[in-house]
Amino acid sequence: MNKCIFLDRDGVLNKDFVDYVYSEDKLFILPGVEDSLKSLKNAGYLIIVITNQSGITKGIYSEEDMHKVHDIMQQKWDNAIDDFYFAPGHPSFSETLSRKPGSLMFERAIAKYNIDTKLSWMIGDKDRDLIPAKKLGIKTIQVDHSDSINADYKVKDLPDAVEVIFG
């Protein structure tokens, strides 16, 4: 079985904007992300991004725009991300089991990659990122300034989260 770091995208890897991140000019990588990803890969973790992307359903950007942003990230990080799972839905438009706090994106990744949830972590900036991880027995770390009741640890940013993981 594999150990995995699940990551939310906006607010963990890149700066989160109220009006979404869907183009290179809005993609601001947060400090320390590249080195953090390298450290996690060197320690043998799979790295999987689990992200809600409701701007697609809202018609603000296309799925192709999102994939372009993911391609840019992969180029910057030497393909450190093993997979991206995204949920384009939003409750105002349609119901979906994939969107966090639902756990379907996690469940699909766990099955596909034979992931041991007891050896894995979820790093997110919002409570909805952590709820499905807790449900599945994955340890949780919240970055930024929010107040999740589902966080096992609360830290400033991804580099600090890596320090928690490496203990």
10 carries an active-site annotation = yes
Residue 8 among known ligand-binding residues: yes
Q: Strand, helix or coil at 135?
A: helix
Cβ neighbours around 67 below 10 Å, total: 12
Q: According to the annotation, is 125 in a ligand binding site?
A: yes
Helices (H), 61-142: 63-76, 104-113, 127-135
**83 is a catalytic site residue:** no
119 close to 1: Cβ distance less than 8 angstroms = yes
Structural contact between residues 67 and 83, judged by C-beta atoms closer than 8 angstroms: no
Please check whether residue 4 is in contact with residue 109, taking contact to mean a CB–CB distance below 8 angstroms: yes
CA–CA separation, 111 and 43 (whole Å): 21
Asked if residue 135 belongs to a known ligand binding site, the reply is: no
Residue 52 labeled ligand binder: yes
Whether residue 18 is annotated as binding a ligand: the answer is yes
Q: Is 147 annotated as a binding residue?
A: no
Give the whole-angstrom CA distance, residue 20 versus residue 8.
Answer: 14
Would you say 100 is a known binding-site residue?
A: yes
21 annotated as ligand-binding: no
- 153 annotated as belonging to a binding site for a ligand: no
DSSP element (H, E) containing 164: helix 158-166
Catalytically annotated residues: 8, 10
Q: Which residues are annotated as a binding site for Mg(2+)?
A: 8, 10, 125-126
Annotated binding-site members: 8-10, 16-20, 51-54, 99-100, 125-126
